[in-house]
Amino acid sequence: MSLKQQLQEDMKTALRNHDSATLSTIRMALAAIKQIEVDERIEVDDTRFTVIISKMVKQRKESVRMYTEAGRTDLAEKEQSEIDLLQNYLPKMLDEAEIDAAIKEAITSTGAAQPSDMGKVMGVVKKTLAGKADMSEVSKKIKQLLN
């Protein structure tokens, strides 16, 4: 069963259970996926699904940060519950050692030695770590290693 189908099944379950918070979050995710499918005239596969959901989680993390700074804990809690639900559809995040190993392998395979080679390394790393690591953190680590 694809991740999109799993999300649709979970929506049906939330409907049956009258779980409005879960239902709202799942519908929002399905709407984002449908928008991509309509705009690009494609059928979203599991890889693209993961990218879409990762982006949604990243947006919500930023919202939690902003709401917390503004003292709006009620809205921050709502966003955090959405993050918790959406993360169930993402692959398990890699730990620091696995990320470091993937970066070092990419640097070795591309022969990167200077900061100007960062694009090559990111191209290889993105394929390996997409959806499994925070790419902004990965980018920072690559910069550190290449400097």
Can you give the pLDDT at residue 20?
A: 95
User: pLDDT tens across 33-47, in order?
Assistant: 999 999 999 999 988
pTM score of the predicted model? 0.75
Structure tokens at 115: 């900061």
Pinpoint the alpha helices (H) of the chain.
Answer: 3-17, 20-40, 46-69, 73-86, 96-110, 118-129, 135-146
Can you give the pLDDT at residue 134?
A: 80
Q: Which residue from 57, 54, 55 is spatially nearest to 80, judged by alpha carbons? A: 57
User: pLDDT tens across 54-107, in order?
Assistant: 899 999 999 999 999 999 999 999 999 999 999 999 888 888 888 989 898 988
Can you give the pLDDT at residue 86?
A: 95
Can you give the pLDDT at residue 136?
A: 83
Q: Could you tell me the domains of the chain? A: 3-89 (1.10.1510.10), 96-146 (1.10.10)
